[in-house]
Chains A and B, each alone.
Chain A
């Protein structure tokens, strides 16, 4: 049984366009995926693809005006507010994207210490601080006194404790020095080897591939491919979705060839495949038919023509 299971999760909110005209906007559309104990699943995609909303949905911290359908199971149980209250910050930990998640009026050390922490956790945290070369004085600082790089390390330390069973890391690495990225990724890997499940959300495919077992690729609110990390090789021949291939080939070390255009801001604006306007494998039916997810070569893809 997977530790975390997301079934047909849709996230939408109502937006007012032109005064009082309402429009329901779907930002994540019928997402399915699962993550096992000891597994690292990376979620990659451009900003605005819905990656962070997924993190917030799992943690139960979406804004009030947002509506979700579908279900999220943790250890086979429905992950509702009650279960979240029990596990959030303990078994289930978030590495947030921004320092604004920390309480600005509380010293760093104090807010890292949760009520469930004993001496073991405090010791563990001290040694993490040491490994990240965060001096002892950092614990006494307020969040606004941290530099960008320091803040990242502090955020990673909040989650990387041994009692954690599920880590949701939302863009934990950008702006960090490569050595610290390696340290943070190494720590996630180590926790995974101890049985922890890690959901690693990032726009940095290269960082993702350094530790992930599987990679879910997001485009305009849909998971359009789930591939093994090993599928990202060569010219991307083993990748299934044309967008994933394009993303891979756009890396500086793989040709640096961009495709044109941008992802649609709202999936509701598009009738057929969300990628149709930019796709090199485009065919007539792509315009009218929204591809369902299906299995191809041991992975998942949402493309009518992938083989």
Chain B
């Protein structure tokens, strides 16, 4: 069942429409790139698709139904700045197990070392923190992932490590992945198709 955004529209308060009548579909197991200028509302689109915000116009549809808000949302979003996506006063063990308890195999695949989980967010590097956020997002109910500039803040080696793991996992579990990025080389490398968002 695809994840569909149908004729979506979004704007802030009375501001101009960031996008209007925009439709997109993402199939299970598919890796799709979303590129477009900054300020065009790519992140807002991600937030609509993952149920963080309700569209002003249009609908987000999954499994033929309109999305309902549950505790573990089937569409998970991963952000550019992991340090802003976690509670700074929680040890990582609590953050990572917020929605589910990742098994050893996943933690190992993501290169998450046990002792990181005893630490607080400000004691980990951006790459370490991002791996934890990915683990958190990969619960058994996750069917789609929106990666919003997920590795923009990371060095090339860490970036390649994280994407290789991520692509393995989404392939095995047939998760649909939307890659929001300004890096054309990256999008060309990993995405089956690209949507231009203008």
| Interface residues of A, Cβ cutoff 8 Å to B | 44-48, 147, 149, 174-180, 203, 205-206, 246-248, 250-253, 256-260, 262
Task: Tell whether, in the assembled complex, residue B182 and residue A177 are in contact, meaning their CB atoms are under 8 Å apart.
Answer: yes
Task: With both chains docked as a complex, state the minimum distance between the C-beta of B194 and any C-beta of chain A, in angstroms.
Answer: 14
Task: Tell whether, in the assembled complex, residue A203 and residue B153 are in contact, meaning their CB atoms are under 8 Å apart.
Answer: yes
Number of B residues, CB within 8 Å of A:
29
Q: Does B161 contact A (CB under 8 A)?
A: yes
CB-contact partner of B39 in A45, A149, A250, under 8 A: A149
Instruction: Determine the distance from Cα of A203 to Cα of B138 in the docked complex, in whole angstroms.
Output: 27
Task: Tell whether, in the assembled complex, residue B156 and residue A262 are in contact, meaning their CB atoms are under 8 Å apart.
Answer: no
Q: Does B183 contact A (CB under 8 A)?
A: yes
Q: Does B169 contact A (CB under 8 A)?
A: no
Set of chain B residues within 8 Å of A48, measured between Cβ atoms: 125
Task: Tell whether, in the assembled complex, residue B160 and residue A257 are in contact, meaning their CB atoms are under 8 Å apart.
Answer: yes
Q: Does B56 contact A (CB under 8 A)?
A: no
Task: Tell whether, in the assembled complex, residue A258 and residue B161 are in contact, meaning their CB atoms are under 8 Å apart.
Answer: yes
Task: With both chains docked as a complex, state the minimum distance between the C-beta of A23 and any C-beta of chain B, in angstroms.
Answer: 15
Set of chain B residues within 8 Å of A45, measured between Cβ atoms: 155
Closest to B183 in A: A252
Set of chain A residues within 8 Å of B89, measured between Cβ atoms: none
Task: With both chains docked as a complex, state the minimum distance between the C-beta of B184 and any C-beta of chain A, in angstroms.
Answer: 9
CB-contact partner of A46 in B37, B149, B155, under 8 A: B155
| Interface residues of B, Cβ cutoff 8 Å to A | 37-39, 80, 111, 125-128, 149, 152-161, 163-164, 182-183, 185-186, 188-190
Instruction: Determine the distance from Cα of A250 to Cα of B186 in the docked complex, in whole angstroms.
Output: 11
Instruction: Determine the distance from Cα of A174 to Cα of B186 in the docked complex, in whole angstroms.
Output: 15
Task: Tell whether, in the assembled complex, residue A174 and residue B152 are in contact, meaning their CB atoms are under 8 Å apart.
Answer: yes
CB-contact partner of A250 in B80, B128, B160, under 8 A: B160
CB-contact partner of B156 in A179, A251, A260, under 8 A: A251
Set of chain A residues within 8 Å of B185, measured between Cβ atoms: 206, 251-253
Task: Tell whether, in the assembled complex, residue B164 and residue A252 are in contact, meaning their CB atoms are under 8 Å apart.
Answer: no
B contact face: mostly helix, strand, loop, or mixed: helix
The 3 A-B pairs at the shortest CB distance, nearest first, are namely A258-B160, A177-B38, A46-B155
Task: Tell whether, in the assembled complex, residue B155 and residue A203 are in contact, meaning their CB atoms are under 8 Å apart.
Answer: yes
Task: With both chains docked as a complex, state the minimum distance between the C-beta of B41 and any C-beta of chain A, in angstroms.
Answer: 12
Task: Tell whether, in the assembled complex, residue A247 and residue B186 are in contact, meaning their CB atoms are under 8 Å apart.
Answer: no
Task: Tell whether, in the assembled complex, residue B127 and residue A47 are in contact, meaning their CB atoms are under 8 Å apart.
Answer: yes
CB-contact partner of A247 in B39, B156, B161, under 8 A: B156
Set of chain A residues within 8 Å of B38, measured between Cβ atoms: 149, 176-177, 180
Q: What 8 additional pairs, Cβ within 8 angstroms, besides A252-B185, A252-B188, A258-B159?
A: A46-B158, A149-B38, A175-B153, A206-B185, A250-B160, A252-B183, A253-B189, A262-B158
Set of chain B residues within 8 Å of A250, measured between Cβ atoms: 156-157, 159-160
Q: Can you list 19 A-B pairs with a CB-CB distance of less than 8 A?
A: A44-B155, A46-B127, A46-B155, A47-B126, A47-B155, A174-B152, A174-B153, A176-B38, A177-B39, A205-B156, A247-B155, A252-B183, A252-B189, A253-B185, A253-B189, A258-B157, A258-B158, A262-B111, A262-B128
Set of chain B residues within 8 Å of A175, measured between Cβ atoms: 80, 149, 152-153
Given contacts A246-B157, A259-B157, contact A178 B188 (CB under 8 A): no
Instruction: Determine the distance from Cα of A45 to Cα of B157 in the docked complex, in whole angstroms.
Output: 10
Set of chain A residues within 8 Å of B152, measured between Cβ atoms: 174-175
Task: Tell whether, in the assembled complex, residue A256 and residue B163 are in contact, meaning their CB atoms are under 8 Å apart.
Answer: yes
Set of chain A residues within 8 Å of B126, measured between Cβ atoms: 47
Set of chain A residues within 8 Å of B149, measured between Cβ atoms: 175
Closest to B36 in A: A177
Closest to A258 in B: B160
Task: Tell whether, in the assembled complex, residue A256 and residue B111 are in contact, meaning their CB atoms are under 8 Å apart.
Answer: no
Set of chain B residues within 8 Å of A252, measured between Cβ atoms: 160, 183, 185-186, 188-190
Closest to B113 in A: A262
Task: Tell whether, in the assembled complex, residue B157 and residue A247 are in contact, meaning their CB atoms are under 8 Å apart.
Answer: yes
Task: With both chains docked as a complex, state the minimum distance between the C-beta of B86 and any C-beta of chain A, in angstroms.
Answer: 16
Task: With both chains docked as a complex, state the minimum distance between the C-beta of A182 and any C-beta of chain B, in angstroms.
Answer: 12
Instruction: Determine the distance from Cα of A256 to Cα of B80 in the docked complex, in whole angstroms.
Output: 20
Task: With both chains docked as a complex, state the minimum distance between the C-beta of A243 and any C-beta of chain B, in angstroms.
Answer: 8
Task: Tell whether, in the assembled complex, residue B157 and residue A178 are in contact, meaning their CB atoms are under 8 Å apart.
Answer: no
Task: Tell whether, in the assembled complex, residue B182 and residue A47 are in contact, meaning their CB atoms are under 8 Å apart.
Answer: no
Closest to A44 in B: B155
Task: Tell whether, in the assembled complex, residue A177 and residue B125 are in contact, meaning their CB atoms are under 8 Å apart.
Answer: no
Task: With both chains docked as a complex, state the minimum distance between the C-beta of B119 and any C-beta of chain A, in angstroms.
Answer: 11
